[in-house]
Amino acid sequence: MKLKGINAFEQYVDKALFGIVGASLLGVLAWQFVGPGNQIDVAGQSVDPDKAFNPVRTQAEAILAKVGSQSPALPTPPRSDVLRRFEDRLTKGVSPGKNIVALAPRLSLGAGGAADLAGGAEAPIAPLAVPAPTGVTAATFASAIDPMEIIANEELAKLVPTEQPFDKQAVSVEAVFDGTTLAKSLENDPEGDARSIPLGWWRGQMGVIAVEMERERQLSSGEWGEATVVPPMPGRVSLLKDLDKAVKSKGDLPMLVSKADQAQDLVMRPSYYNIIAGPEWTPPSEMSTGESKTEKIDRIQKQINDLVKEEAALKRRLEQQGKQAPDRGGGRETEGEGGGHGGGGGGGRQPGRPPGPPPTNRDRPGQPVKKNPLETKLEEVQGKITKAQAELDKASAPEQATREPEKRLTLLENPKVRVWTHDMTAEPGATYRYRLRVVTNNPLFGQKLIEAQKDDAQAPIARGEWSEWTDAITVEAKEYFFITGASPSDDIGGARASAELYKFYYGFWRKGTAAVEPGDVLASEAKLPDELRLWDMDKLKAGAKPKITLNDPAADERDGGGGGHGGERRRGGRGETEEVAQPSAEDKAKLNDDGLSKPAPKTIPFLVDAMMLDAAALPSSGDRGSKSKVRTFLRDRAGQIVVRYPDVDGSSDLYKRLASNARMGENQGRPKVKAVNPQDVPVPGAQRPGEDRPGRRDDPPPSDDGGGGGGG
């Protein structure tokens, strides 16, 4: 039955709606099983809920890796153009008014300015290059050190004998350092990307901190051993000592440089210890000739004395020749020299007078004048005296008087900075070679450098290049012996030899002699000056203060022994040459009244561990009348056979030097008197100006016959 008033849509709409809802429910239910599931957004990523923490964990691990990285990527700091801002404010007006001008012209900052400092950590900087010293030379030195130095310096006391005298052999090494080359290395721009050291890091802030020395010892094979650093002199300025405590940051560096500048001479040229006996110390460059200043003065003075004697002898001979010469007023023979034989042109030789020399060319008009050979020789000798005296004055003058005053240059202005140091640990008899290097402050210390150069900023000092090695130098041994004569077996006796033994004692070499035969050991003793005295160490350690004699350049004691004690303390240079005078009884009494000294031994023994074996003559050279040379055989302490030749030993430079020094030591401790100027030495028989000539026994007696001859 058809429903009235209900159409088809209305009739089935409920069924259709129910079908759609059912289908939707079935779709949702099916999606739960076959769909992709739920997703959430984490850090811009869609992930399942069970994986929501994975992106967070990944980001956390990345951050943790950056925190533990050794070289993290740092953000670029903002760069501020400080120079431009400074110039703008300096040159531009500060007021809108037209009458206000700029305070100063445009400022240009060069190397070391603000621009350089700002970019210091962005570009590499050339490291400091300290040049090597040049002209290095070494020399040995031996003397007796002042006991007061030993008392005040415990480290030095370990290097000298335990008892007086404190004799010490040492080696001094000198070189020249070019400060201008160091300045160029600081100023010049290097090749490549590296820049020069900024000016503000080193200008007015450079100094020599130390002069270091290395040595190598020569082995018995002739090869050189391992190089070792020579320790600095005990008790002298050492800026390297406790350097880590003194300089902890770059703010401490100016103080170190200031100390180096104030102690410039003590750092670069440390003074030798005060000495009481022996020659004064001089730089190696001045004693490298093999002759010390004292020996040179002694040699020249002896030469002058010999020339003065020769001059006096020539004057005597000329005076005698003048008495014997005939008068040439009217003839060739002597005319009335005594008065009674005079007259007119006659007269023969005076009875009892030898004939005079033949007439010279002076008596012949028109003939060249022939000079008397004695007069020529006299002028030659007098010229030698003048020359030698000038040489003596120059050698005796104090150093400051012989040099013109020089402008004191700064380190970077001076191309010839003299540097030296001393090896107080050198062993007597050993052979060494040395080299030096200069240590300065490091201007890169504590500065901000690039990563590759951080090591250059760690050390407050910069060590320079080593110099070349010196020539081999042998430290003087404590004892020497020389064979001065030898004879083989003959009709007179067996083989025999004479020897001179030398031992260094109290600043000088002491000489002993010995006559030996086969089987004898070389032994002797040397006599010491009676006036030689030693300091009372107990009283000095208790606080007694001895007098300190400052050497007067005009009155030096050439033996270095010091006045009456033979060991009086002295400082300073050497002065005029002095000769020895025997002390009077009063002077000898004064030697014992100071209470701080006591007599030294009268003799010292010699014992050289060498035994004579034989002496034999060498084959003759074949020349007629030539004398055969003799060689002497000895055995040393090592059991080795040693051959010595008397003519070689006696002519060696070492023998001459030791013998000369031993002669000087014989006068040690005796009072001195000034040397007589050779020009003031009176010539025997010479007439002084304005003085009547005294009569001589060989002058003729006055004549009773009249006034003598003239030629009338």
174 and 438 in contact (C-beta within 8 Å)? no
Quickly state the pLDDT bin for 217 (edges 50, 70, 90): very high
Quickly state the pLDDT bin for 295 (edges 50, 70, 90): low
Quickly state the pLDDT bin for 376 (edges 50, 70, 90): confident
pLDDT of residue 45: 73
Greater confidence (85 vs 317) lies with: 317
H helices present in 397-439, as ranges: 399-402
pLDDT of residue 285: 86
**Closest among 535, 533, 516, 512 to 524, alpha carbons compared:** 512
pLDDT of residue 566: 52
pLDDT of residue 95: 57
Backbone angles phi, psi at 252, to 5 degrees: -85, -10
Q: What's CA 289's distance to the chain center, in Å? A: 14
Looking at the chain, the whole-number percentage of residues with pLDDT higher than 90 is 30
Residues 6+ apart with CB under 8 A from 196: 111, 125, 126, 186, 187, 188, 189, 190
Tell me which of 161-175, 304-318, 400-414, 479-493 is least confident: 400-414
- The mean pLDDT value for 154-164 works out to 92
pLDDT of residue 406: 46
Average pLDDT, the chain: 75
List pLDDT tens digits, range 507-535.
999 999 999 999 999 999 999 998 888 88
Does residue 341 surpass a pLDDT of 90? no
527 and 599 in contact (C-beta within 8 Å)? no
pTM above 0.85, yes or no: no
Q: Which two tokens stand for residue 428?
A: 């007597």
pLDDT of residue 480: 93
Does residue 123 surpass a pLDDT of 70? yes
pLDDT of residue 52: 73
List pLDDT tens digits, range 37-46.
677 777 677 7
DSSP conformation class of 469: P
Looking at the chain, the whole-number percentage of residues with pLDDT higher than 70 is 69
Place of tokens 């028109």: 366
Residues 6+ apart with CB under 8 A from 412: 179, 180, 182, 183, 186, 206
Does residue 559 surpass a pLDDT of 50? no
Q: Which two tokens stand for residue 252?
A: 């401490």
Greater confidence (96 vs 22) lies with: 22
DSSP conformation class of 35: S
Q: Where is 261: in which H helix or E strand? A: helix 253-262
pLDDT of residue 550: 38
657-667 residues labelled b (16+ CB within 10 A) or e (exposed):
bbbbbbebbbb
- The mean pLDDT value for 164-189 works out to 91
Sheet containing 508-516: which strands, arranged edge to edge? 479-487, 496-505, 508-516
8-47 residues labelled b (16+ CB within 10 A) or e (exposed):
eeeeeeeeeeeeeeeeeeeeeeeeeeeeeeeeeeeeeeee
pLDDT of residue 110: 39
pLDDT of residue 367: 56
Greater confidence (286 vs 288) lies with: 286
Between CA 106 and CA 109, with CA 107 as vertex, the angle to 5 degrees is 150
- The mean pLDDT value for 420-436 works out to 95
Greater confidence (394 vs 585) lies with: 394
Rounded to whole angstroms, how far apart are CA atoms 158 and 161?
8
Rounded to whole angstroms, how far apart are CA atoms 323 and 699?
9
Does residue 242 surpass a pLDDT of 90? no
Quickly state the pLDDT bin for 409 (edges 50, 70, 90): confident
**Closest among 283, 244, 239 to 261, alpha carbons compared:** 239
Quickly state the pLDDT bin for 435 (edges 50, 70, 90): very high
Strands 570-571 and 549-550, by their bridges, are: parallel
Rounded to whole angstroms, how far apart are CA atoms 527 and 666?
9
Between CA 24 and CA 32, with CA 29 as vertex, the angle to 5 degrees is 130
Quickly state the pLDDT bin for 245 (edges 50, 70, 90): confident
**Closest among 564, 537, 426, 661 to 147, alpha carbons compared:** 537
pLDDT of residue 522: 92
Greater confidence (472 vs 574) lies with: 472
Tell me which of 52-66, 125-139, 528-542, 670-684 is least confident: 670-684
Greater confidence (101 vs 420) lies with: 420
List pLDDT tens digits, range 655-700.
998 998 898 888 887 654 444 444 454 544 444 444 444 444 344 4
pLDDT of residue 92: 61
Q: How many residues are recorded in the chain?
A: 712
